[in-house]
Amino acid sequence: MGKTLAYKILEDHLLEGNLIPGEEITIKMDQTLTQDSTGTMVYLQLEAMDIEKVKTELSVAYIDHNTLQTGFENADDHAFIKSVAQRHGVIFSKPGNGICHQLHLESYGIPGKTLLGSDSHTPTGGGLGMIAIGAGGLDVAVAMAKGTYSLTVPEVFNVELKGQLRPWVSAKDVILKVLQELTVKGGVGRIIEYTGEGVKSLSVTDRATITNMGAELGATTSVFPSDENTKAFLEHEGRGDDFVALAADEDAEYDGHLLIDLSELVPMAAKPHSPDNVDTVENIGQIKVDQVAIGSCTNSSYTDLMKVAEILKGKKVHPDVSLVISPGSSKITEKMAKNGALADIIASGARVIENACGPCIGMGQSPKSGAVSLRTFNRNFKGRSGTNDAQVYLVSPETAAISAINGVLSDGMKSGMDITQPEMADFVQNENFIVYPEGHDTKNTEVAMGPNIKPFPRNEAPFGDIIAMVTLKAGDNITTDDIMPSDSRLLPYRSNVPHLANYCFEKIDPEFAARCKDIGQCVIVGGENYGQGSSREHAALAPLHLGVRFVIAKSFARIHRSNLINSGIIPLVFDDPSDYDKIEQGARLILEDIVGMLEDSQYKDEFDVIDTNNAKIYKCHGNFSDLEREMLLAGGKINYIKGE
Ligand code: MIC
Ligand code: SF4
């Protein structure tokens, strides 16, 4: 039987275990990336791990999320990360250089290598033929310290592409189509591997748009082959030597298959408030638009923005629309400043802002009350824009630009306007935004610790019975944005969990934090796909701070489940999902003899949760690997590592 590309790369990096779906393996991690809003936690850990140099081939610390600097907090975080990066051999990318995933693609990603990032959109690197995985900060810190990462082997699901996209239809429409077919749960426990003759018509940045939003499918990662287009991309970036040709075997067998005919696709949009709530732009109709935002790690490449410039050239942004553009990297902005495209964009009435995440994570540019905002981003969760009643639609750059001119959601295919596929340009690395750790006495660099940076929260090893009260009963597809909201008000406090914890679940239940503080020992009950979205471990650390001991759900999203285990919070899954309906908020639940249950040498993965409210027993399981059980017994990953 032929091999999939994903398993070929995993096999090349395999250190422990067997490549069998569901089994735990440890792989060599070649590269890591961090960004600032998850990064301070990562580097607090790295600093505590007493290592001299990171064990990876390359580690980069990007500053791209918290760049508003409305107070000292963000700037202190940047200084802290820079100092720790310097001490441990990590490359530092200054604020303003751009968005981590776009920059990593341009400057450091290499086909066939593994990459772990403290950001859920790290799979962007799959566009270059990497196995690139998003994880919680602590997992990334350990990967830097040891050069390894442990994961449950995913299945490999094949998306076969045939045909070629028509003008006005682009990579964003492909991934929106996949999301429509598979939903936000469709990728859980899977790697999505793209094959077929249609792949040849997609550039690396098109492919990266698709692998980036594989995060919205819940997939472990997504991967494209590395071919002539990959070679061309690397050559244009001045890195032709990094090219390696990679593909699945012709007779590779997959655990599932979806065929997409690119030539049949039309412009699509994800309607509020979920990336899988997809329909065609034509079906949604010409709704009036108040804001258009172009950028984010999904759609801020040079070719994306050149298409936008072509559409806007000589035109005027509609008087009722605010068009805001945040380019993906300094190199892109510099190139577009030189070739005149930036002038065309500005002349149209667009607001061009910093090369950073910006509006994608609610760091400014929140739309007006009740506004319709079209965004080329990857998430349209309720309130993420910073405006709770805004209606956010996810669209391609082409759809965004033509709609900004028309003032209504518009299908470019019907505009009568010709659009060309922009040529790639030749780039040189802008070294002026990079600080390398080499060159001086890095070990003695002083750690710059601002007053807002608080210690990493620690749990205690569990003992006896856990008796806890259901403090929140949440529904399906709860996001980590729901659990630990992030916007310009809260993002500056990512290094201060005690402060952040006051806002835990704020948008769903403003009393949650206060109730937890009164109760002491708490349980959260969730529906399907609990904890989807961002990799922020704050969505586990804030509940830990508030006394949450275990979470029972119908199913969990991968990264959040790991973050819970890393914090020593026990994630349990109902054997019978209908038990969810029997639990009431306020009920007192007992998880008996937790240590005995986890330690049992005949480990059966059976957990009985007794509901003292109605005397029912809910049978649950954990699906814990041996390593996960040991971490839970130690009260979390840090305690486990310290005791190793
Ligand atoms: C996101 O897009 O949700 C973020 C902000 O990049 C997060 C990371 C974070 O919460 O800091 C992610 O995708 O992991
Ligand atoms: Fe930044 Fe948005 Fe990408 Fe997250 S999804 S890394 S906030 S641009």
Q: Which domain holds residue 259?
A: 5-264
- What's the domain count of the chain? 3
CA 108/CA 118 separation, integer angstroms: 16
**Among the ranges given (249-263, 315-329, 450-464, 502-516), the one the predictor scored with the smallest mean pLDDT:** 450-464
Q: Mean per-residue pLDDT for 281-287?
A: 98
More reliable by pLDDT, 1 or 594? 594
- Say if 458 falls within a structural domain: no
pLDDT computed for residue 500 by the predictor:
97
536 lines ligand 1 (CB under 6 A): yes
CA 349/CA 318 separation, integer angstroms: 9
Is residue 489 domain-shared with residue 571, that is, in the same domain? yes
Tell me which of 36, 105, 296 to substitute to probe ligand 2's pocket, judged by most ligand atoms within 8 Å of the beta carbon: 296
pLDDT computed for residue 442 by the predictor:
72
- Of the residues 241, 264, 287, the one at which a domain ends: 264
pLDDT computed for residue 633 by the predictor:
97
Is residue 125 domain-shared with residue 225, that is, in the same domain? yes
- Of the residues 264, 287, 308, the one at which a domain ends: 264
Is residue 254 domain-shared with residue 377, that is, in the same domain? no
Instruction: List all residues 6 or more positions away from 236 whose beta carbon is below 8 Å from its beta carbon.
Output: 424, 425, 426, 427
pLDDT computed for residue 25 by the predictor:
98
Q: Do residues 119 and 77 lie in contact, with contact meaning Cβ atoms separated by under 8 Å?
A: no
Q: Which H or E run contains 525?
A: strand 522-526
Tell me which of 68, 133, 486 to substitute to probe ligand 1's pocket, judged by most ligand atoms within 8 Å of the beta carbon: 486
pLDDT computed for residue 441 by the predictor:
66
Band the pLDDT of 430: cuts 50, 70, 90. Answer: confident
pLDDT computed for residue 440 by the predictor:
60
pLDDT computed for residue 439 by the predictor:
67
CA 375/CA 325 separation, integer angstroms: 10
- Say if 221 falls within a structural domain: yes
Ligand of minimum distance to the alpha carbon of 375: 2
- Of 627, 475, 480, the closest CA to residue 555 belongs to 475
Is residue 493 domain-shared with residue 519, that is, in the same domain? yes
* CATH code, domain with 534: 3.20.19.10
Encode pLDDT of 202-236 as tens digits.
999 999 999 999 999 999 999 999 999 999 999 99
Residue nearest to ligand 1 atom 1, measured at CA: 534
CA 174 to chain centre: 19
pLDDT computed for residue 643 by the predictor:
78
- Say if 27 falls within a structural domain: yes
- Distance (angstroms) between ligand 1 centre and the Cα of 456 equals 19
Q: What is the dihedral of CA 278, 283, 288, 293, to 10 degrees?
A: 30
Instruction: Give whole-number Cα distances, 522 to 296, 385, 517, 544, 588, in Å.
Output: 36, 30, 9, 9, 9
Ligand of minimum distance to the alpha carbon of 480: 1
**Among the ranges given (93-97, 538-542, 639-643), the one the predictor scored with the smallest mean pLDDT:** 639-643
Residue nearest to ligand 1 atom 9, measured at CA: 536
Band the pLDDT of 644: cuts 50, 70, 90. Answer: confident
pLDDT computed for residue 335 by the predictor:
98
Residue 511 pLDDT exceeds 80: yes
- Which tokens sit at 225? 């082959």
Strand partners, 154: none
CA 249/CA 268 separation, integer angstroms: 32
- Say if 540 falls within a structural domain: yes
pLDDT computed for residue 26 by the predictor:
98
Is residue 485 domain-shared with residue 629, that is, in the same domain? yes
- Say if 418 falls within a structural domain: no
- Say if 216 falls within a structural domain: yes
**Among the ranges given (45-59, 154-168, 371-385, 531-545), the one the predictor scored with the smallest mean pLDDT:** 45-59
**Quick one: which atom of ligand 1 is closest to the CA of 494?**
11
- Say if 425 falls within a structural domain: no
Is residue 36 domain-shared with residue 120, that is, in the same domain? yes
pLDDT computed for residue 429 by the predictor:
84
Is residue 245 domain-shared with residue 282, that is, in the same domain? no
Tell me which of 99, 119, 360 to substitute to probe ligand 1's pocket, judged by most ligand atoms within 8 Å of the beta carbon: 119
Residue nearest to ligand 2 atom 3, measured at CA: 297
Strand partners, 114: 131
Is residue 326 domain-shared with residue 301, that is, in the same domain? yes
Residue 135 pLDDT exceeds 90: yes
Band the pLDDT of 630: cuts 50, 70, 90. Answer: very high
Encode pLDDT of 539-555 as tens digits.
999 999 999 999 999 99
- Of the residues 247, 264, 281, the one at which a domain ends: 264
Band the pLDDT of 443: cuts 50, 70, 90. Answer: confident
Is residue 273 domain-shared with residue 258, that is, in the same domain? no
- Distance (angstroms) between ligand 1 centre and the Cα of 542 equals 16
Q: Mean per-residue pLDDT for 467-481?
A: 97
Is residue 249 domain-shared with residue 322, that is, in the same domain? no
* CATH code, domain with 318: 3.30.499.10
CA 529/CA 475 separation, integer angstroms: 9
Residue 403 pLDDT exceeds 70: yes
- Distance (angstroms) between ligand 2 centre and the Cα of 428 equals 24
Burial class (CB in 10 A: 0-12, 13-18, 19+), 395: buried
Ligand of minimum distance to the alpha carbon of 326: 2
Is residue 73 domain-shared with residue 165, that is, in the same domain? yes
**Quick one: which atom of ligand 1 is closest to the CA of 378?**
2
Across the beta sheet with 114-117, what order do the strands follow? 131-134, 114-117, 31-34, 58-62, 91-93, 434-435
Instruction: Give whole-number Cα distances, 400 to 124, 168, 276, 351, in Å.
Output: 21, 11, 18, 14
The full DSSP string for 290-331 is SEEEEETTTS-SHHHHHHHHHHHTT----TT-EEEEE-SBHH
Is residue 284 domain-shared with residue 208, that is, in the same domain? no
| Average pLDDT score over the chain | 97
**Quick one: which atom of ligand 1 is closest to the CA of 384?**
3
Q: Which H or E run contains 637?
A: helix 637-643
Residue 119 pLDDT exceeds 90: yes
- Distance (angstroms) between ligand 2 centre and the Cα of 104 equals 13
Residue 29 pLDDT exceeds 80: yes
**Quick one: which atom of ligand 1 is closest to the CA of 65?**
5
- Say if 135 falls within a structural domain: yes
Encode pLDDT of 596-628 as tens digits.
999 988 889 999 999 999 999 999 999 999 999
Residue 312 pLDDT exceeds 90: yes
Residue nearest to ligand 1 atom 3, measured at CA: 534
459 lines ligand 1 (CB under 6 A): no
CA 127/CA 209 separation, integer angstroms: 8
- Of 572, 574, 560, 97, the closest CA to residue 355 belongs to 97
- Distance (angstroms) between ligand 2 centre and the Cα of 64 equals 9
- Distance (angstroms) between ligand 1 centre and the Cα of 38 equals 8
